[in-house]
Amino acid sequence: YVAPSIFEVEGALDVAVESYTLSKSYNMAGWRVGCVVGNEKLIGALQKIKSWLDYGLYTPIQIAATIALNGDQTCVQEIANKYEHRMEVLIDSFGAAGWKMTKPKASMFIWAEIPESVKHLGSMEFSKRLLQEAKIAVSPGIGFGNHGDHYVRIALIENENRIRQAGRNLKKFLKQFEPNA
């Protein structure tokens, strides 16, 4: 799957910009390295705002980004494959524990609807209890807006063994919410 570009739409260059980061493709999440392309006037406005916020990116990060972009690109597919495998393991493990999820087309995150048996908790309380009782950290969907309260965001950052352990912990956690538990 290749995500579509806004520039595939006729006239988009007149009104749109598109951003790209090295976060996922090169495993540089949190480094805040990327670029914006598109409408020149909008980019100029973004550049002005950015200049008011900071003075530039830390030099070693700039160098690492340059090396990543200019180097052997086989790592990009290797990283994508790693996230794809983790996604499959998580969906299988959590599904076996009673939490069915829809597989996203591409991402290092899964936006998952909270299981019906715990939906009444809301995303914040569910996330808190999941962390405290099952040792699983997720981001509550409410943090992404009011419509996210029945969802959580799960980052695919752990290895396969830790994901499977999380699935076992999840199964024990969800058991307490079963009728007659």
Q: What mean pLDDT comes out for the span 164-178?
A: 96
**Cα(88)–Cα(78) distance, rounded to whole angstroms?**
15
Q: What is the reported pLDDT for 24?
A: 86
Q: What is the reported pLDDT for 33?
A: 92
Q: What mean pLDDT comes out for the span 146-168?
A: 96
Q: What is the reported pLDDT for 56?
A: 79
**Cα(120)–Cα(172) distance, rounded to whole angstroms?**
18
Whether 98 shows a pLDDT value over 80: the answer reads: yes
pLDDT in tens, 86-97: 999 999 999 999
Task: For residue 19, give every residue at least 6 positions away whose Cβ sits within 8 Å of its Cβ, in sequence order, or none.
Answer: 34, 35, 36
pLDDT in tens, 49-80: 988 887 778 999 999 999 999 999 999 999 99
**Cα(39)–Cα(16) distance, rounded to whole angstroms?**
6
Q: Return the structure tokens found at 76.
A: 């990009």
Confidence of residue 181 (pLDDT cuts 50, 70, 90): low
**Cα(84)–Cα(72) distance, rounded to whole angstroms?**
21
pLDDT in tens, 27-53: 898 898 999 999 999 999 999 998 888
